[in-house]
């Protein structure tokens, strides 16, 4: 089996596997996207608060 035949076989297998995937509905996708963005915002704020706290403490020490 040549190189191009292997590549063609690979992409056929990928196509077959993608047909098996259970894709989320538009409503689920929107819901999950909002959830992920919310978690990122909360985590970012938490890191920001902790960073500012450590900066303040170190400024008092040094």
- Interacting residues of 9 by C-beta distance below 8 A, sequence separation 6+: 1
Residue 29 lies in a domain: yes
Residue 6 lies in a domain: no
| pLDDT tens column, 19-53 | 999 999 999 999 999 999 999 999 999 999 999 99
The confidence score (pLDDT) of residue 1 equals 82
The confidence score (pLDDT) of residue 7 equals 96
Instruction: Tally the domains of the chain.
Output: 1
| Domain boundaries, position 50 | 23-62
Residue 52 lies in a domain: yes
Assess contact for 35 and 27: CB atoms under 8 A: no
Residue 15 lies in a domain: no
Residue 3 lies in a domain: no
Q: How far apart are CA 34 and CA 39, in angstroms?
A: 9
């Amino acid at each position: 089996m040549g190189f191009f035949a292997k590549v063609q076989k690979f992409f056929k297998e990928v196509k077959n596997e993608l047909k098996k995937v259970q894709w989320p509905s538009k409503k689920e996708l929107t819901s999950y996207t909002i959830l992920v963005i919310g978690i990122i915002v909360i985590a970012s704020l938490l890191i920001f608060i902790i960073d500012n706290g450590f900066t303040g403490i170190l400024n008092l020490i040094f």
